[in-house]
Amino acid sequence: MSELTTVARPYAKAAFDFALEKGAIEKWHEMIAFAAAVAEDEVMSAFLSSAETLEKKVDVFINVCGEQLDQNGQNFVRLMAENERLKALPAVVQLYADLRAEYEKEVTVEVTAATELTQQQQDNLAQTLEKRFSRKVKLNCSVDAAIVSGLYIKAGDTVIDGTVRGKLERLAHALQS
């Protein structure tokens, strides 16, 4: 996957810079996300790996995408196809989303709790995390009864383990040392 990330990075950066210049960040995100979904389709993936000519592959790909791609989006797909990089489109979308979140000062936070969080708890947590990260926070909440109690919070490289399970594991490790 790291190879695809390396390949995808300049495409994501170029697409983001172009979208920023044109004031179409959301539109470009939608376009490349749709193109990535098409590229990931099993039938399309098999077709792209076939012995067809490059022009035929590009034409079919763009026709499948239809009106989801504007002229600039089509040119972007053509460029990636000419460089045989269409398989990197999912990585391009992820990197584009990261660039967009950085630009918009937004961070996605994965929150795991032992029980379902109420809307009030989610709002309070979001406000607290916005102060800590100095960014707008988008919560993705999930439930895992195995953590017993507390919250496990992950935002990028930052992990906050306030779970009973985590505390018990740290205690066990300290006792064994």
Residue 35 has pLDDT above 80, yes or no: yes
Q: What's the rounded mean pLDDT across residues 139-149?
A: 87
Q: What is the CATH number of the domain that holds 161?
A: 3.40.30
Q: Encoding tokens for residue 10?
A: 């300049």
Burial of 91 (0-12, 13-18, 19+ CB in 10 A): buried
Same domain, yes or no, for 93 and 113? no
CA dihedral defined by 132, 137, 138, 143, rounded to 10 degrees?
20
At 93, is the pLDDT very low, low, confident or very high (cuts 50, 70, 90)? Answer: very high
Each residue of 43-83: pLDDT tens digit? 888 887 777 787 888 888 888 888 888 898 888 988 888 88
Same domain, yes or no, for 20 and 82? yes
State the total domains in the chain: 2
Same domain, yes or no, for 87 and 34? yes
The pLDDT of residue 161 is: 87
Residue 1 has pLDDT above 70, yes or no: no
- Percent over 70 (pLDDT), the chain: 99
Same domain, yes or no, for 137 and 80? no
Task: Indicate the residue among 84, 101, 118 that finishes a domain.
Answer: 101
Same domain, yes or no, for 82 and 116? no
Q: Which domain holds residue 130?
A: 105-176
Task: Indicate the residue among 68, 101, 134 that finishes a domain.
Answer: 101
Same domain, yes or no, for 128 and 90? no
Q: What's the rounded mean pLDDT across residues 98-105?
A: 84
